[in-house]
């Protein structure tokens, strides 16, 4: 039984490192369907519909291209779980709760399951993403199980191809790169099939994504489209207090994240202009603080990451020390001693 791995890519060709990683870990017959979107001719809904049309496999796996699999045999896990006719979609991160306000990714963690190692792929000297571990590599998989949720994240999700006789990525209502995962999950929920999250597939994701007004616009389309079926709860008993808590958390986090991502977008623009020798203004004090915190958090995560060697970590600390805005060198050195010397 073949798995069709569908990737919408910013590049002309398939990334060789990712292709090799998939080949070495999937443990099942597969094909890779690389959708070349280097010219931005498709939105994600259109690209994935093209992938579905091209797919020859019984099972379809939709995934980002900035990922790395740490699990071996994850293809067999996918087939095992999706062979159950009651299950419509499988993911590795999701939420039991999907409300008719804001986005589930901003709810508090009490109603979410996140089995993703969040990493950083920035080639810039001061990365604007931080390494957020939702656990440690050596502790995964946690329980070797699956759990029902209402929605999964599109970083990695899988479905049977025959479902696409009844569902499709909605490129009529959506015209961007957001909420494709939530919308397809709602279609699966509408069919009366289960949406599931598993901790048996360990994936490292090398970016956080970006939230902007474009994301907010897509969110409003999603909420309007599914207003008659929201809110929904799956796999968890939720009382009114939990809903209130989730909304309060989402309101705070959403506004904060939009503001933060707008700042980061401006910083990246300046970084690229400086790299290319173009005339541009200097960084503000606030922008230096943002970069400093981001660079510090990234390196703090690397210190705790046991897959990184001591030499690699020490070099990262040296690199940080040389940044013009660095203020946490001593804290990093102490964390190195604490995690790498005293508690190795």
CA distance 158 to 138: 25
| CA 197 from centre of chain | 14
pLDDT score of 114: 85
pLDDT for 138 equals 42
Q: What is the pLDDT of residues 10-54, one digit of tens each?
A: 989 998 999 999 999 999 999 999 999 999 999 999 999 999 999
pLDDT by residue (tens digit) across 266-318? 887 888 788 888 998 998 988 888 888 878 877 887 787 777 788 888 988 99
| Rounded Cα–Cα distance for residues 45 and 280 (Å) | 36
- Average pLDDT of the residues in 182-198: 97
Please choose, from the candidates 324, 322, 284, 317, the residue with its C-alpha nearest in 3D space to the C-alpha of residue 302.
317
Q: Is the pLDDT of residue 167 over 70?
A: yes
pLDDT at 132 exceeding the cut of 60: no
Tokens describing residue 66: 């900035």
Per DSSP, the residues of 207-250 read: ------HHHHHHHHHHHHHTTTT-SEE-SS---HHHHHHHHHHH
Q: Please state whether beta strands 156-160 and 87-91 pair in parallel, antiparallel, or not at all (unpaired).
A: antiparallel
pLDDT at 141 > cutoff 60: no
User: Residue 99, CB half-sphere, CA atoms under 13 Å: how many?
Assistant: 23
Q: In degrees to the nearest 10, what's the CA dihedral of 39, 43, 46, 50?
A: 40
**pLDDT reading at 125 higher than 70:** no
Name the band, by pLDDT with cuts 50, 70 and 90, for residue 210: low
* Angstrom distance (rounded) from CA 13 to CA 37: 10
Q: In this predicted model, what pLDDT tens digit does every residue of 225-268 receive, in sequence order?
A: 999 999 999 998 877 887 888 888 888 787 777 777 777 778 87
As given in the structure block, the two tokens for residue 288 are 């230096």
Instruction: Tell me: pLDDT of 341 over 90.
Output: no
Q: What is the pLDDT of residue 194?
A: 97
pLDDT at 159: 98
When pLDDT is cut at 50, 70 and 90, the band that residue 168 belongs to is very high
Predicted confidence at residue 238, as pLDDT, reads 77
- Give the start-to-end residue ranges of the domains of the chain: 3-241, 282-344
Residue 181 in tokens: 């995962």
Q: Please tell me the predicted confidence (pLDDT) of residue 196.
A: 97
The CATH code belonging to domain 3-241 is: 3.90.550.10
From 240-244, 317-321, 333-337, the region with the lowest mean pLDDT: 240-244
Q: What per-residue confidence (pLDDT) applies to 94?
A: 94
In whole angstroms, what is the distance from residue 192 CA to residue 169 CA? 18
pTM assigned to the model: 0.76
Confidence of residue 133 (pLDDT cuts 50, 70, 90): very low
Q: Is the pLDDT of residue 3 over 90?
A: yes
CA 66/CA 133 separation, integer angstroms? 17
Confidence of residue 202 (pLDDT cuts 50, 70, 90): confident
| Per-residue exposure over 246-273, b if at least 16 CB sit within 10 Å of its own CB, e if not | bbebbeebbeebbebbebbeebeebbee
Owner of token pair 């001593």: 330
Q: State the alpha helices, DSSP H only, in the chain.
A: 16-25, 44-54, 74-82, 180-190, 213-225, 240-275, 285-304, 310-321, 329-336
Give the pLDDT of residue 136: 40
pLDDT tens digit string along 84-118? 999 999 999 999 999 998 899 888 877 888 888 76
Torsion of CA 124, 131, 70, 194, to 10 degrees: -120
Please give the average per-residue pLDDT across 182-195, as a whole number.
98
């Amino acid at each position: 039984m073949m798995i069709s791995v569908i990737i919408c890519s910013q590049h002309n060709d398939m990334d060789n490192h990712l292709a090799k990683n998939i080949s070495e870990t999937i443990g099942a017959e597969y094909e890779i369907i690389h959708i070349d979107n280097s010219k931005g001719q498709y939105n994600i809904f259109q690209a994935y519909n093209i992938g579905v049309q091209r797919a020859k496999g019984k099972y379809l796996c939709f995934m980002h291209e900035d990922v790395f699999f740490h699990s071996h045999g994850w293809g067999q896990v996918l087939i095992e779980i999706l062979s159950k006719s009651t299950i419509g979609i499988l993911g590795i991160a999701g939420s039991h709760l999907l409300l008719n306000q804001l986005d589930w990714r901003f709810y508090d963690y009490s109603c979410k399951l996140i089995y993703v190692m969040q990493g950083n792929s920035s080639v810039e000297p001061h990365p604007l993403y931080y390494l957020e571990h939702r656990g440690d590599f050596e502790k995964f998989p946690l329980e070797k199980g699956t759990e029902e949720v209402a929605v999964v994240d599109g970083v990695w999700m899988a479905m049977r191809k025959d479902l696409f006789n009844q569902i499709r990525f909605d490129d009529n209502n959506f015209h961007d790169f957001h909420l494709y995962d939530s919308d397809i999950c709602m279609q699966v929920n509408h069919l009366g099939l289960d949406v599931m999250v598993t901790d048996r597939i360990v994936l490292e994701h090398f970016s956080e994504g970006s939230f902007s007004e474009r994301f907010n616009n897509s969110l409003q389309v999603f909420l309007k489209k599914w207003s008659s079926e929201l809110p929904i709860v799956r796999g968890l008993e939720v009382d009114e207090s939990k809903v209130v808590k989730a909304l309060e958390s989402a309101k705070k986090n959403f506004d904060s994240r939009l503001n933060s991502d707008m700042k980061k977008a401006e910083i990246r623009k300046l970084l690229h202009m400086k790299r290319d020798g173009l005339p541009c203004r200097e960084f503000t004090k606030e922008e230096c603080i943002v970069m400093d915190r981001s660079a510090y958090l990234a390196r703090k995560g690397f210190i705790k990451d046991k897959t990184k060697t001591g030499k690699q970590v020490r070099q990262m600390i040296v690199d940080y020390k040389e940044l013009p805005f660095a203020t946490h060198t001593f804290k990093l050195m102490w964390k190195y001693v604490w995690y790498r010397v005293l508690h190795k």
